[in-house]
A and B are shown apart, each in its own frame.
Chain A
Amino acid sequence: MADAPVQPQRPLSRRGLERLDLLLLSAEALDLNGGEAMVWLSEEMGLTDLFPNRVELWKRRCSNPLRRTTRRDRITEAEADGLIRILNALADRLYPMLRSLLSSAEPPQLSEQRWALFRGRLQELLKERFNPRRSGVQRLLDPQEGPQLCRELIQTMALSAGPVGFTRLKASLMDAAV
């Protein structure tokens, strides 16, 4: 077994934070109890020092600049790592659902119904919690561009599910700004 690869030590960029929170929101759109699952996964993974309760967990997610009520204080690297680990664990639990969305072997009509359900829930959550004036949010709500962006979110979760997905997803969240 190889040692854990070394990650560059620096906090997530603004874009990285936006993506991380959007992925967590996608997990909530897939699982109606996703918000609760995040809290108990955080406890189960021993992250209570970072996120002692659901309010603190929610506050850390609110450092996403796309939120309606965004917090100015920057998230620390340990807190970002904690959120990424929670997302990896959620994706691991939701993997059968992610897989059925991505599979081309599913009946097309059923697949389309599943995508419509996911996109509908994600849009509801976006309208409720995110700032609709931001172009990043508008693109997700856009009927032309939205479906492809939703597919990218699901694919990202599927390819970073489980503990090994942590380094892969973290590296991607630290990509250079384009």
Chain B
Amino acid sequence: MSELHAADHAHHEMGFLHKYVFSTDHKIIGIQYLITAMAMAVVGGLLSMLMRYQLAWPQGVSPIMAKIFPVAYNGGLMEPGFYISLVTMHGTIMVFFLFTAVLLGGFGNFLIPLQIGARDMAFPFLNALSYWIFLLSCIVIFSALFVTSGAPMGGWTAYAPLSAVPAAAPGQATGMTLWITAIALFSVSGLMGGLNYITTILTMRTRGMSMMRLPLATWSLLVTSILGLLAFPVLLGAGLLLMFDRMGGTSFFVPAGIIMNQMPIDHSGGHPLLWQHLFWFFGHPEVYIVVLPAMGMASDILSAFCRKPIFSYRMMVYSMVAIAVLSFVVWGHHMFVSGMNPFLGSVFTLTTLLIAVPSAIKTFNWLGTVWGARIRFTPAALFALGFVSMFVSGGLSGVFLGTSAADIQLQDTYFVVAHFHLVMAIAPLFAAFAGIYFWFPKMFGRFMNPTLGKIHFWFTFIGAYCVFFPMHVIGIGGQMRRIYDPTQYMFLQPQQPVNVFISISAFVLGSAQLIFLFNFFFSIFGGRVAERNPWHATTLEWIAPTPPGHGNFGEELPTVHRWPFDYSVPGEREDFVPQTVPATVTAQH
């Protein structure tokens, strides 16, 4: 492991490849994660556009698509199997390769050493390795779209036995094998990252940076890394068993006597529900792996633009820990209709609804922070507020779904689709946008255009609600998720206009992201040059030069004297006091 010494690396020149590609600098790795995840988001987003087109106009013949995808659009109509592949790939790419990667990999790498006052991660080489394994996993999952037998069809949850038997469907052959490989690689890369984050946050904080002086973004990344550390190995183990079922002839997840595609399957004795238990033991913490960093970042950003300290810092930390602990005992709420004992269902209902308590604490604390503040409505502030809005909207429907009696009615409908998109996709997306607008000046030394940012926000905010709010209604109306053609069902036909409305909104929402992409890449080179602390924020990354050099803080590491939320302190000349200002010195102003 290369130990970093400030004196060594402050002045030595490196080639382009070493500096920007094969770098072990946490900032470069963070930006690499960010941009790779953005590329994956474009892929995942395009897939969802194809799905929405199909759902709005299932009978519409499209000669253009037939030219681009001759196999999937045979005669201009989408093949049903292709639609299921789209569902699978969209879910997988967005959950793992966008949200987990951008929040943990991107912001985790970029922010942690800067916010705790360290020169780099604890194990920089391992950190770089983590990125390259992540990139490999991206390539593997992307290649699953192009195999001749088709992309995987198991959904992002890869339920057995369909995922355990290659003969189950065309996409379950090579496509599924690539899926498992990609997820296994992703888990390994995530573990390397998590190992680094926990070690760095615990052992490399600068002088005076006690745990209760950490910014909430760093706190959330610590809690999230611990979640990942406990959850990802279980997924890895389950994936291993699944792989042996597919290739080694074992029958861990395949019961005896099943027939697929008119063919008896030569397996015996396994337990398909075992996969669901193992998957959701990982899968539910994964939801919080995505949501917790979003919460932490939004907290810091809201506080900075409200010019007020975060409301109840300690409760923010404790509620994050509570959510993390509870997330390991709620996985059964994904399996209420799997034939589980109703008493067990009640237990899972109870634990699930308990999560509402820390979530509500956080929500009220955000409201308390915003309350009576003179908010500076920058794009970052707008997206952070949007995060709170989306989290509340998505979270409230979770109370219905977490109650087993109501869930039996609503499961596998668009109500569920609306719920999880709002709470674990759109909400983290808003927080990620907020984070990008907020930290972009520190990353690249330039501002993103605020006008374009505000246009981007309003299109995204209204667009997201227009897409996902009506889904609750058509879900209660009975529209099933993963459905390929709603017009085939008489009882769904009256609500087809809603599907058309959702699809048009989705196209607007998708197009609005082009504004963001343009703004992002244009601003790297052509944005207004940013100063050291453009938002007048208090945390340590704003004390470092913009953009920070190798080693982050120049000759000497900063010393921390206060918590990260000293905004509008009475009696101070300025409305913010950086963490490095000693308490007594400020009093003499």
The answer to whether A and B interact is no
